[in-house]
Structure 1
Amino acid sequence: MAETKFLETAQGRRLAYHKSEGTGPTIVFLGGLKSDMEGTKAVHLEAWARARGQSFLRFDYSGHGESSGEFTDGCIGDWHEDTLAAVSRLTAGPLIIVGSSMGGWQALLLARVMPERMAGMVTIAAAPDFTEDGYWASFSDQQKSDLETVGHVELPSDYMEPYVITKRMIEDGRQRLVLRTPLKLPFPVRFLQGTADTAVSTETAVGLLNHASGQDMQLLLVKDADHRFSDGPCLGLIEQAVRDVIGGT
């Protein structure tokens, strides 16, 4: 396996990454909250891209995986800065962005600030604005009070240890919302969503589809697929979606 490389960002963070050289457009995988670049989808897609001779990048946000920092110190804006640094300094030319869960939000933020480089996008259980519409909207009065007095709350997860959600993450998330203003995606887009996903609802996926504007946009609902979306059939669907937005076979 290739050795992990590291990128120093302008903010002083050290990001771990793997880059496979090849032809363009470069596929960039953006992982989910508390996920890392060694996840099934990222590694599988890298191998698939390498077999095609296609350029591919996966990396860990700060506070994730092998990158520097603590998860509880980070927020959506920090990870957006990490994404910008990785894409700007490690890739050139057109991009195919594949964003999973929180990475779907990051993909939409990237498209907003770097539209000229977007050749296509695939999201898997995209979770735009989840800090506001998911966390904050569901907090009890006690949790909102704890956020002010303690500075964080802990939320259970179906997939790992509890999430520690900080006041900074909630407040920063409000500055990064993408569903309150026009969301233009003028390139091929494929949204993938499992109906058995307990972290991101099908209503969220449909809401994103209805809110965004674009000439070539599709939502695929996969019956009984969960949030991981990483069994064999689901990985095949991700491959097909990437092929679709590239426009090849």
Structure 2
Amino acid sequence: MTEFLTTPQGRRIAHHRRAGAAGPGVVFLGGFMSDMTGTKAQYLQDWAERMDRPFLRFDYSGHGQSSGRFEEGCIGDWAEDAMAAITHLTTGPQVLVGSSMGGWIALLVARAMPERVRGMVGIAPAPDFAEDSMWQGFTADQRAALLRDGQITIPSDYSPQGYPITRRLIEDGRRHLVLRAPLLLPFPLRILQGTADTDVPPAVALRLMDHADSPDLHLTLVKGADHRFSTPQCLAMIAAAVEQVSGAA
């Protein structure tokens, strides 16, 4: 059953959670313009039920069933949503599973509240993508239109209408960069990355691996896997990675 949490900022966050009895809880952090009904979130929900693990999935504001319009949101807002959900809906250190943008959100959570993180799994994580992928990849005309109009639309394989990109998203993203300063992650981290990912290429995962300071960091490249990372093999790898980082003290 869908429940709602009102954050300190007044946003209503739709979520599903289960209590569970065994091991640290698991929190799924979805990607850009995705929601908690996606394949990976549902798979982890089913896995948590089989393993009797506490589990939380939720929609950022402007996503899925949560309040607000997508165009009103930005990385800082969505990180606040995640921190509120973890603070009010979970107990003790959690394993954060961040998919694409969710990997960036997970890193922001870890930087702000490291005591609440037992371990992390990044699935094609996309830290700093608003600057490094979007802004740096825009044409001069796109940049000019964004600055002039406050919003542009870019094509997407996942939405026939394309993705609306706002000036606020880009400018706020610059205030939440994680690859420009030391990134201490004092817990196990697993990065899962497809070699056929054209949305977040393997170079991003390699950059994160090189930059992060973690005592136990492994990167797994899966030949032929794309950005969805949702084949049965890939899904099983996600569950295995969660189990790996869950056992650390």
Could you state the TM-score of these two structures normalised by the residue count of structure 2? 0.97
Post-superposition Cα deviations, 1:84-124, rounded to whole Å, max 9, x if no partner, equal: 11000001101100000000000000000111121100010
Q: For 2:7 and 2:244, locate their aligned partners in 1 and report how far apart those are by CA, in whole Å.
A: 33
Q: For 2:215 and 2:4, locate their aligned partners in 1 and report how far apart those are by CA, in whole Å.
A: 37
Q: Paired residue for 1:5?
A: 3
Structure 1 residue 180 corresponds to structure 2 residue 187: no
Counterpart AA for 1:59? F
Structure 1 residue 103 corresponds to structure 2 residue 102: yes
Q: Paired residue for 1:232?
A: 232
Tell me by how many angstroms 1:154 deviates. Answer: 1.0
Post-superposition Cα deviations, 1:33-72, rounded to whole Å, max 9, x if no partner, equal: 0000000000110110111111000000000000011101
Q: For 1:211 and 1:65, locate their aligned partners in 2 and report how far apart those are by CA, in whole Å.
A: 32
Q: For 1:26 and 1:247, locate their aligned partners in 2 and report how far apart those are by CA, in whole Å.
A: 12
Q: Paired residue for 2:208?
A: 208
Q: For 1:219 and 1:50, locate their aligned partners in 2 and report how far apart those are by CA, in whole Å.
A: 27
Q: Paired residue for 1:189?
A: 189
Could you state the TM-score of these two structures normalised by the residue count of structure 1? 0.97
Structure 1 residue 222 corresponds to structure 2 residue 216: no
5+ unaligned residues in a row in structure 2: which ranges? Answer: none
Structure 1 residue 79 corresponds to structure 2 residue 78: yes
Post-superposition Cα deviations, 1:194-221, rounded to whole Å, max 9, x if no partner, equal: 0111100110110000000111000000
Q: For 1:100 and 1:199, locate their aligned partners in 2 and report how far apart those are by CA, in whole Å.
A: 12
Q: For 2:188 and 2:78, locate their aligned partners in 1 and report how far apart those are by CA, in whole Å.
A: 24
Counterpart AA for 1:127? A
Q: For 2:214 and 2:61, locate their aligned partners in 1 and report how far apart those are by CA, in whole Å.
A: 31
Query: Identity, % of aligned pairs?
Result: 58
Tell me by how many angstroms 1:22 deviates. Answer: 1.0
Q: For 2:246 and 2:90, locate their aligned partners in 1 and report how far apart those are by CA, in whole Å.
A: 17
Counterpart AA for 2:74? C
Q: For 1:247 and 1:90, locate their aligned partners in 2 and report how far apart those are by CA, in whole Å.
A: 22
5+ unaligned residues in a row in structure 1: which ranges? Answer: none
Q: For 2:6 and 2:244, locate their aligned partners in 1 and report how far apart those are by CA, in whole Å.
A: 34
Deviates more, 1:150-159 or 1:77-86: 150-159
Q: Paired residue for 1:136?
A: 135
Pairs within 5 Å for 1:27-42:
27-42=26-41
Q: For 2:193 and 2:163, locate their aligned partners in 1 and report how far apart those are by CA, in whole Å.
A: 22
Counterpart AA for 1:158? D
Deviates more, 1:28-37 or 1:114-123: 114-123
Q: Paired residue for 1:68?
A: 67
Superposed structure 1 runs of 4+ greater than 3 Å apart = none
Structure 1 residue 147 corresponds to structure 2 residue 131: no
Q: For 1:219 and 1:148, locate their aligned partners in 2 and report how far apart those are by CA, in whole Å.
A: 37
Tell me by how many angstroms 1:247 deviates. Answer: 2.2
Q: What secondary structure sits across from 1:220 in the alignment?
A: strand
Q: For 1:112 and 1:21, locate their aligned partners in 2 and report how far apart those are by CA, in whole Å.
A: 26
